[in-house]
Amino acid sequence: MTTMQSAVLRGPDPITMEEVTLHGPEAGEVLVRVVACGVCHSDLHTINRARSGALPVPVILGHEVGGVVEAVGSGVTSVAEGDHVVVAFRPNCGICYFCVRGEPHLCEQPDYPERAATGSNPRLRDAQGQPVQQGIGVAGYSQYTVMPERGVVKVRKDAPLDRVCLVGCGVTTGVGAATRTAKVEPGSDVAVIGLGGVGLNVVQGARLAGARRIIGVDMVAGKAELGAKFGMTDFVNASEVDPVARVQELTNNRLDYAFEAIGLGKTVEQAFAMVRRGGTAVVVGVVGQEVTVPGLAFLGEKRLVGSFFGSAKLQYDLPTYVDMYMDGRLNLDDLVSRKRPMHQINEAFQDMEAGLVARSVMEPGA
């Protein structure tokens, strides 16, 4: 049992720091000391759902964790005390239908850690002994977290955890959407709608895949300079021009791939509209709305596909992305716009909503 300070969401009010107890690690589990945790828009979606009563509270969010293994439960073999790890919010079991098909990101394994919050012995309890939800399976806005062994991936010790924590979600989601889900081909033309922590990684994934033109679309003018640091070749400001018409003009209506990295029905429709006949629109954003597309466009063999967690093969991809960062081939430094102590979590979400940051990184030890 670990007693710690955590950022707890209880409803419509701002998140507050509270004393929380953490149970475990039990057999097959790993206790991780959180060194850094990135702030992803999926947490903001979850906050909005929890605030509207659609999700149970209290809950601790945060799922982009870099940390150090503090203790392991019996049977754990892939990591040991003192190892540096990145947490993977969606562990895979390795033996289900999807895992053995080679699609571990679609794993239907039963040990998803959110289960632990509702079990008879909840992993997290508040000072009154009441259960606290482990949001998005991690609860990383905290000093410690417990994950199943398959939800932690060992990374090299010389990699800075306040950078490589982002590999736990945004980097893997974005780079993998381009390289694994869409399999962008060398020489192709790509548009990315939404240049936040995820979209910027789609941009650099397209660059790694050898795309010719990489057009970023955002409503914040400052994203022009930021996107260029990740390989973006053109910028379209959607608050000034119609992004569909502008992207089609830039590519002579030959856009091969469009990625939606915001989570709005409207921008999914834009992505689908802007690709050429036979082109592919990839939905990376978490879209909580209906999407309407013209059915006749399917006669032009347009494709509309989803992408989850960059179609990642976690145990292979995460250490690879860390190596690529250390070799100077992936840009993580420009993703970290701001580091904050954990108690400033509300301010970090305000920065995200205002489009001021690529990523904020929270540090519970600061």
Q: Say what the alpha-carbon torsion angle 131, 136, 141, 142 is, to the nearest 10 degrees.
A: 50
24/170 with CB nearer ligand PAD? 170
- Reduced to 3 DSSP states, what percent helix, strand and coil does the chain have, rounded to the nearest 5? 35, 25, 40
27/221 with CB nearer ligand PAD? 221
- β-partners of residue 190 are 214, 257
Q: Which does 30 bind (CB under 5 to 8 A by kind): ligand PAD, Zn ion, none?
A: none
Span of 40-48, 104-112, 185-193, 297-305 interacting with Zn ion by CB under 5 A:
40-48
Is 45 annotated as catalytic?
yes
Active-site hit among 169, 188, 307, 311: 169
Tell me, by CB under 6 A, how many residues bind ligand PAD: 33
How far is residue 12 from each of residues 82, 119, 131, 191, 238, measured CA to CA in Å? 38, 25, 19, 36, 31
Q: How is residue 94 annotated by DSSP?
A: S
Q: In angstroms, what is the minimal distance from the CB of 159 to Zn ion?
A: 19
End-to-end CA distance of the chain: 23
214/284 with CB nearer ligand PAD? 284
From candidates 41, 123, 163, 246, binder to ligand PAD by CB under 6 A: 41
How many angstroms separate the CA atoms of 139 and 123, rounded? 10
Q: Which does 71 bind (CB under 5 to 8 A by kind): Zn ion, ligand PAD, none?
A: none
From candidates 83, 149, 218, 351, binder to ligand PAD by CB under 6 A: 218
**What b/e string do you get for 230-265 counting C-beta neighbours within 10 Å, with b at 16 or more?**
bbbbbbbbbeeeebbebbbebbeeebbbbbbbbbbe
How many angstroms separate the CA atoms of 157 and 85, rounded? 9
40/247 with CB nearer ligand PAD? 40
Span of 24-32, 248-256, 259-267, 325-333 interacting with ligand PAD by CB under 6 A:
259-267
How many angstroms separate the CA atoms of 157 and 234, rounded? 37
Name the 3-class secondary structure at 108.
coil
Active-site hit among 6, 37, 41, 63: 63
Q: Which residue's Cβ lies closest to ligand PAD?
A: 196
Residues that bind ligand PAD in the complex, under the rule CB under 6 A: 40-42, 45, 169-170, 173, 193-199, 217-220, 223, 238, 261-264, 267, 284-286, 307-309, 352, 355
Query: Hey, which residues are catalytic here?
Result: 40, 42, 45, 63, 169
